């Protein structure tokens, strides 16, 4: 059987599939509220694979109920993305951010 290109679906791709496989999903949504200061903020983090074989850490933040701001960091290695993710979580928790309270 002939393969018509190096990236054909007929053969084994030289790119491989492991680049897009995260060991576990990374996503977090935390909030910081203080009614006395009229403060209602959120901070969301996710690590996801891109179409180009890298990982991106996406950060979204702003006032709860608003679209807020966003920034994206790209990484070649999952360990680097996770290191920044955990560092950001530690810093936000130190400032009073907590997981969203659920009503029972």
pLDDT-based confidence at residue 5 (cuts at 50, 70, 90): low
Query: Sign of the CA dihedral 77, 78, 79, 80?
Result: positive
Structure confidence at residue 18 (pLDDT): 47
Interval 37-93: pLDDT, tens: 999 999 999 999 999 888 999 999 999 999 999 999 999 999 999 999 999 999 999
Which has the closest alpha carbon to 42: 82, 100, 89? 100
| Residues ≥6 apart with Cβ < 8 Å to 28 | 44, 45, 46, 85, 89
Confidence label for 19 from pLDDT (cuts 50, 70 and 90): very low
The pair of three-digit structure tokens given for residue 61, joined into one six-digit string: 């933040």
Report helix, strand or coil for 16.
coil
| Predicted confidence band of residue 14 (pLDDT cuts 50, 70, 90) | very low
Task: Please give the domain boundaries of the chain with CATH numbers for all domains.
Answer: 23-98 (2.20.140.10)
Note the pTM of the prediction, 2 decimals.
0.72
For residue 48, what is the enclosing H or E element? strand 39-49
What sign results for the dihedral spanned by CA atoms 92, 96, 98, 100?
negative
């Amino acid at each position: 059987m002939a393969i018509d290109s190096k990236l054909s679906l007929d053969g084994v791709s030289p790119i491989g599939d492991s680049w897009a496989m995260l060991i576990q999903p990374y996503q977090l949504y935390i909030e910081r509220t203080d009614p006395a200061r009229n403060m209602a903020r959120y901070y969301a983090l996710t690590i996801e694979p891109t179409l180009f074989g890298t990982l991106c850490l996406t950060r979204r933040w702003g006032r709860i109920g608003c679209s807020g701001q966003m920034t994206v960091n790209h990484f070649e290695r999952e360990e680097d993305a996770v290191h920044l993710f955990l560092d950001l979580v530690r810093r936000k928790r130190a400032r009073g951010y907590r997981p969203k309270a659920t009503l029972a």
